[in-house]
Amino acid sequence: MSILPRNIGEALKLIEQAEENRADFVEVRLDCLDMDSDLVVLAADRKTPLIATDKSRKDEAEHRAILLNAAKSGFKFVDADLSTQKLKSTISEIKASGAKCIVSFHDYNGSRSLLDLDSILKKEISEGADVCKIVTTAKQIEDNLTLLQFTAENSAKIKIVCFAMGELGKTSRLLSPVFGGFFTFAALEIGNETAPGQMTLREMMAAYELLGLK
């Protein structure tokens, strides 16, 4: 599950709601939180692993400081974009602080070929990713098949998160874990989506039950 809190109090409330709804992971988008926020409060005694992600357009030094703060504060996973400057050293520091690193790639404009996806995956692995995340944007329903095939072929190699954004990408969002994806993302409720095409956890659980996958 992914949440985008405006302050620590709201973050605590949303994390608790996510845990009540039996989320396997909770991604905390740190975009709106003050850099000096006490992230230890969020991670302390938490049964559900927290993922720290920062998609705000801060300068590189501040962005790096936010990610390292999350790692030192007890977040189990920290998401670093593949385009991050000095990525290898950032990943090393994240790991040294006790967190695992998700290296992520997003294409907000369209889909990618299997050849492109393979090249991106190799780059993420070479940088030292514990989890490789590749997200594209579906322009046609067939784009889901490409991503699901890619996930199935590579999930035994490394932990992988791979699906498409957008309304046409819902199929890959839903079925990625069925094809070996490490996890997928859901919203807590309608109106709280953190990316286009995101379904609610309740919708996804209902779909899994209908398909006999729950």
Q: List residues with catalytic annotation.
A: 106, 133
**What are φ and ψ of residue 140, in 5° steps?**
-150, 155
> HEC string of 3-65?
ECCCCHHHHHHHHHHHHHCCCCCEEEECCCCCCCCCCHHHHCCCCCCEEEECCCCCCHHHHHH
- List all residues 6 or more positions away from 15 whose beta carbon is below 8 Å from its beta carbon: 3, 26, 28, 42, 46, 48, 50
Contact 143, 130 (CB under 8 A): no
